[in-house]
Structure 1
Amino acid sequence: MTFIPDQIDMCIMDILQEDARTTNKEIASRLGKSVTSIFERVKRLEAEGYILRYIAVLNKHKLGKNLVAYTSVTLKEHGHDRLLSFEQKINSFPEVMECYKMNGQFDYLLKVLVADMEAYEVFNLTKLSRLDNIYKIRSLFVLSETKHEVELNLKTNWQAKLVPKNK
């Protein structure tokens, strides 16, 4: 039988997205449930793959990562082994924050995060363009960011039934 999260599960996930350090006790209090039931629900959401991991969202600018580039990559050959090889190599580069296999004008779209244009040039010349199956690389550089979300929107009308978080 397939597990489908109910409204309580959705609310738990929403609370944890907002602050992954929220304790089971705090969640239970906000939802009017027992700590044990919240603990069991969280464990099930983890086991079923709805909650993948818990992270801290860092300020990239304070850490000197000021340039975001969206880089499209077109490959010469598209056999399964060639695609897999490219993905394995790209996934090993710490500068690549996201990698998507695409359809259309190019094969992959990369989100690359580096300190500055000089660092991007080094990344491009010493890593990306040296991969053996590269046909074409094109990059777009972010001038400013007007929205950046890491939370999935799970809010529905049942959200209003929550006990407000103590601030």
Structure 2
Amino acid sequence: MDDFDRKLLEIVQDDCTLSDSEMGRRVSLSASAVRRRLAAMRRSGVIAAEVAVLGSVAQTGITVITSVAFERETPTVYDDFRNRMKADPHVLQCYSVAGQADFFLVVAASSLEAYEAWGEQVLLSDPAIRRYDSYVAWSTTKFTTRRPVF
């Protein structure tokens, strides 16, 4: 990756709907050069997806940050848990972490009651899980999908 690629990544993280010619104007490249570079970054996985991020008007329900700690940590337990979290539409994000917890989840639910039912069905019923703690997000101070490009 060179400086042109890094500049393009900054631009598409802000607005991936800009035309190739507009992006090219901003970084001093031709539209065809921008198109080739973006295509190469998509193929290589540098750009994983281009999606619409919903605004607060479209968001309903609650967001719960959930920490999960296992009774015993094994590769099989971790793999099984990761696969279940990937497949669960309520789980927006899943992080393996160091510290007191083994994983942190960001979970969407329609209500506190719905989250409680989800927790009992998905987490409490798992014999490998020792404990899970739930933190209801009251508001969002900052949310971004933008990552620094080094």
Structure-2-length-normalised TM-score: 0.90
**Cα 1:93–1:69 shift into 2, 3 Å:** same
Looking at CA atoms only, which structure, 1 or 2, has the larger radius of gyration? 1
**How many Å apart are 1:32 and its aligned residue?**
2.6
- CA distance in 1 between counterparts of 2:79 and 2:57 reads 32
Residue 153 of structure 1 corresponds to which residue in structure 2? 148
Task: Tell me which amino acid in the other structure corresponds to 1:69.
Answer: V
Residue 14 of structure 2 corresponds to which residue in structure 1? 18
Residue 105 of structure 1 corresponds to which residue in structure 2? 100
Matched, 1:28 2:24: yes
**How many Å apart are 1:105 and its aligned residue?**
0.7
Task: Tell me which amino acid in the other structure corresponds to 1:151.
Answer: R
Counterpart of 2:126 (choices 125, 128, 131) is 131
Residue 65 of structure 2 corresponds to which residue in structure 1? 70
Residue 51 of structure 2 corresponds to which residue in structure 1? 55
**Cα 1:90–1:132 shift into 2, 3 Å:** farther
Counterpart of 2:89 (choices 54, 69, 94) is 94
1:32-53 per-position Cα deviation (integer Å, ceiling 9, x unaligned): 3211111111122222321111
- Preserved CA contact (<8 Å) 1:86 1:133: no
Consecutive unaligned residues in structure 2, runs of 5 or more: none
Give 4+ residue runs of structure 1 displaced > 2 Å after superposition: 29-32, 59-63
Task: Tell me which amino acid in the other structure corresponds to 1:144.
Answer: S
SS of aligned partner of 2:49 = coil
SS of aligned partner of 2:26 = helix
Task: Tell me which amino acid in the other structure corresponds to 2:92.
Answer: M
**How many Å apart are 1:60 and its aligned residue?**
5.1
**Cα 1:61–1:118 shift into 2, 3 Å:** farther
SS of aligned partner of 1:135 = strand
**Identity of matched residues, %:** 25
- CA distance in 2 between counterparts of 1:147 and 1:111 reads 15
**Cα 1:59–1:122 shift into 2, 3 Å:** farther
Residue 161 of structure 1 corresponds to which residue in structure 2? none
- CA distance in 2 between counterparts of 1:44 and 1:23 reads 17
**How many Å apart are 1:108 and its aligned residue?**
0.8
Counterpart of 1:141 (choices 132, 136, 140) is 136
